Chain A
Amino acid sequence: MKLSVLQQSYLNRRSNSFRSSGPLDSSSDSAIKSPAAIFWLVLHGLCCLISLVLGFRFSRLVFFFLFSTSSTNFYTSPFRSTAELAKTLDVRSVLSTNPVSNIELPLLNKTAMNSRVVVGRHGIRIRPWPHPNPIEVMKAHRIIERVQKEQRFQFGVKDPRRVIVVTPTYVRTFQALHLTGVMHSLMLVPYDLVWIVVEAGGVSNETASLIAKSGVKTIHVGFNQRMPNSWDERSKLESKMRLRALRIVREKKLDGIVMFADDSNMHSMELFDEIQNVKWFGAVSVGILVNAANTDETADQKKDEEENARMPVQGPACNASNMLAGWHTFNTLPFAGKSAVYIDDRATVLPRKLEWSGFVLNSRLLWKDGGDKPEWIRDIDMLDGDIDSPLGLVKDPSVVEPLGSCGRQVLLWWLRVEARADSKFPPRWIIDPPLEITIPSKRTPWPDAPPEFPANEKPVIGIQEPIVKHTTKTRTSRSKHRSKRKHETRTDTQVSTRHSEQN
Chain B
Amino acid sequence: MDLRAGDSWGLLACLCTVLWHLPAVPALNRTGDPGPGPSIQKTYDLTRYLEHQLRSLAGTYLNYLGPPFNEPDFNPPRLGAETLPRATVDPDVWRSLNDKLRLTQNYEAYSHLLCYLRGLNRQAATAELRRSLAHFCTSLQGLLGSIAGVMAALGYPLPQPLPGTEPTWAPGPAHSNFLQKMDDFWLLKELQTWLWRSAKDFNRLKKKMQPSAAAVTLRLEAHGF
The answer to whether A and B interact is no
- Using a CB–CB distance below 8 Å, which chain A residues touch chain B? none
Interface residues of B, Cβ cutoff 8 Å to A: none
